[in-house]
Each structure stands twice: as structure tokens, then as C-alpha cells.
């Protein structure tokens, strides 16, 4: 693991990145990974298990994105997108291929991955190397600030409610597609998506609803629902962790 950082235009401090990857004779795909938990909690260390497991197939760059309420929408998504711009410019020095970039994330990180894919479609990237976003992997993503899905409505005292309130501080932003991708009416042209949920996770309905909307918009999508555990799916202690890793490897190698 290597630790580095970039200076975001929206934060007073550099944004830390942790880079995982085994040196290879040929350039590897690059995965930008946003760690799990909620917008107002979580840490980059929770991404280590996945990053290590994929480090022979890809250069994995984990982002230590600032949490709410210290940073919130829309500033957080700008930091996330600047991380994508940074890896596209630094691809060669990282041992990666700017023509094979992927975004991935779990929970709040899944939201950021989905939104970065939207921003890439809408803005593109400029810089030393032309990046191509080949896919997005969304793991139990938080995609609906209204929390209106059946699975979320059936959850009592969900910590997502406070997290959304601290992340979306202007009520009208709750339906903005860059905040709540599931409410977007313009999904065509996005990178192919892999949406992975777990059986009893309150976020599964909004994640699978988003997958259905992507399919209707003509975006290639694969959906997998895995088993439950008290652990996050990206934890090595989750019984489906190896299945998750194999799914992610398949996306990286067979896109």
C-alpha cells in the first residue's frame, strides 16, 4: 500500500488516497474505490480487504473522502470527481491504464461511485491522458435521500436518516440526481453497472430499483443479491466476501 494525496479545490486540506497494486509488466485496470458506511461515518481502512484482494488484478485507489457534516452535498461529489481526474492524470505512474478505469463503492461510497459515473458522462475529463470509464460497481449503495423504498420504510430507526440529513443540508437538493441517483430521469450513456445487494439490507430495494432504471435507459447492468451477515459485505469476515471479490474481478477482467 502506498499513501498519497491530492489538493482538492473544495477542501482546506489535502485528500488522502491509499493505492494498492502489485507491480506488473503490463498496465492494469484502475479502480477508484469509495469506502462504505454512511455519509457521516466510516473510514478508509474498511476498504482494505477488498483493495488487497483485487491488488493483483487492478490498481485500487481508495479515497479518504471528507465526511458530513464537515463536508456535504454538493462539495463532497466535487471531491469525488477530482479524485477520478487525479487518477486519470497519474495512471502511468501508478502502473495503471487510463483507458480502463472503474469506480466502485459501498453504501455512501456506492452513492459517490454512481454520481462520479454521472459526472463523467456529463463533463468528461481533460488532462494529460484521456480516461475511459469502463464500469461502475455499486455495493448496497445509498441512492435515495427520500428513503421511500419498501425495505427502508420497514426499517426502524435507520441511521441512514441522520446521515442523509447531515449530507443533504438543503431540502430541495434531496431529489437532485447527483444526490439521489435513483430519482434521475436521464440515465442513458452511463458506464455499465454491476449492482450488488444483500438479502435483508434496507438499501436493497433502492439499489435494485436503480438497476432496473438503468436497464430501461439502455445501460448494461448485472444485479446480484448475496446472503446476509452482521458484517459489511466488503469485510473479509462476511461469508460472501469471496463471492463479492470474484464478481468484482469478473468486471475488471472481462469488461
Query: Each residue of 155-166: pLDDT tens digit?
Result: 877 899 999 999
Q: Is 159 helix (H, G, I), strand (E, B) or coil?
A: coil
pLDDT digits (tens, 9 = 90+) for 14-52: 999 999 998 777 899 999 999 999 999 999 999 999 999
Burial class, 246, CB count within 10 angstroms (exposed 0-12 / middle 13-18 / buried 19+): exposed
Kindly state the cell numbers that stand for 11: 477542501
Kindly state the cell numbers that stand for 237: 469476515
Q: Provide, rounded to the nearest whole percent, the portion of the chain with pLDDT above 90.
A: 89
**Cβ-contact 145, 208 below 8 angstroms:** no
Q: What is the rounded distance in angstroms from the CA atom of residue 173 to the CA atom of residue 73?
A: 8
Report which of 133, 130, 148 is spatially closest to residue 31, judged by C-alpha positions: 133
Task: Provide the pLDDT for residue 255.
Answer: 54
**Cβ-contact 127, 94 below 8 angstroms:** no
Predicted confidence band at 126 (pLDDT cuts at 50, 70, 90)?
low
pLDDT digits (tens, 9 = 90+) for 199-252: 999 999 999 999 999 999 999 999 999 999 999 999 999 999 999 999 999 999
- More confident: 114 or 129: 114
Kindly state the cell numbers that stand for 117: 459515473
- N-terminal to C-terminal alpha carbon distance within the chain: 25
Task: Provide the pLDDT for residue 155.
Answer: 83
Task: Provide the pLDDT for residue 188.
Answer: 98
Q: What is the rounded distance in angstroms from the CA atom of residue 130 to the CA atom of residue 45?
A: 30
Average pLDDT over every residue of 98-118: 97
As beta bridge partners, residue 196 has 139, 224
Kindly state the cell numbers that stand for 22: 502489485
Mean pLDDT of the chain: 95
Average pLDDT over every residue of 120-124: 94
Q: Provide, rounded to the nearest whole percent, the portion of the chain with pLDDT above 70.
A: 98
Report which of 194, 22, 191, 42 is spatially closest to residue 119, judged by C-alpha positions: 191
Kindly state the cell numbers that stand for 137: 460497481
Task: Provide the pLDDT for residue 25.
Answer: 78
Average pLDDT over every residue of 57-68: 97
- C-alpha pair distances (Å), 3 with each of 11, 64, 74, 143, 145: 18, 11, 26, 29, 32
- C-alpha pair distances (Å), 221 with each of 122, 136, 179, 240, 241: 20, 10, 21, 21, 21
Kindly state the cell numbers that stand for 230: 452482521
The whole-model pTM stands at: 0.96
Domain 2-254, CATH class in plain words: alpha beta
Q: Is 176 helix (H, G, I), strand (E, B) or coil?
A: coil
Amino acid at each position: 500500500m502506498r499513501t498519497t494525496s491530492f489538493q482538492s479545490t473544495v477542501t482546506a486540506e489535502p485528500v488522502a488516497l491509499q493505492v494498492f497494486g502489485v507491480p506488473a509488466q503490463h498496465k492494469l485496470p484502475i479502480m477508484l474505490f469509495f469506502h462504505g458506511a454512511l455519509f457521516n461515518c466510516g473510514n478508509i481502512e474498511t476498504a482494505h480487504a477488498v483493495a488487497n484482494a483485487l491488488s493483483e488484478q487492478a490498481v485500487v485507489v481508495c479515497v479518504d473522502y471528507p465526511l458530513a457534516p464537515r463536508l456535504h452535498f454538493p462539495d463532497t461529489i466535487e471531491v469525488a470527481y477530482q479524485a477520478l481526474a487525479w487518477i486519470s492524470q497519474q495512471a502511468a505512474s501508478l502502473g495503471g491504464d487510463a483507458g480502463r478505469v472503474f469506480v466502485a463503492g459501498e453504501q455512501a461510497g456506492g452513492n459517490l461511485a454512481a454520481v462520479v459515473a454521472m459526472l463523467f458522462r456529463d463533463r468528461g475529463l481533460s488532462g494529460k491522458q484521456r480516461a475511459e470509464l469502463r464500469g461502475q460497481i455499486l455495493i448496497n449503495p445509498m441512492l435515495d435521500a427520500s428513503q421511500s423504498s419498501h425495505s427502508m420504510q420497514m426499517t426502524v430507526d435507520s441511521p441512514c436518516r441522520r446521515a442523509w440529513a447531515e449530507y443533504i443540508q438543503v431540502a430541495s437538493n434531496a431529489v437532485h440526481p447527483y444526490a439521489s441517483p435513483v430519482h434521475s430521469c436521464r440515465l442513458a450513456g452511463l458506464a455499465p453497472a454491476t449492482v450488488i445487494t444483500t438479502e435483508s439490507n434496507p438499501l436493497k430495494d433502492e439499489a435494485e430499483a436503480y438497476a432496473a432504471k438503468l436497464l430501461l435507459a439502455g445501460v448494461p447492468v448485472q444485479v446480484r443479491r448475496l446472503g446476509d451477515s452482521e458484517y459489511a459485505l466488503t469485510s473479509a469476515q462476511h461469508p460472501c466476501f469471496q463471492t463479492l471479490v470474484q464478481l468484482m474481478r469478473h468486471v475488471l477482467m472481462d469488461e
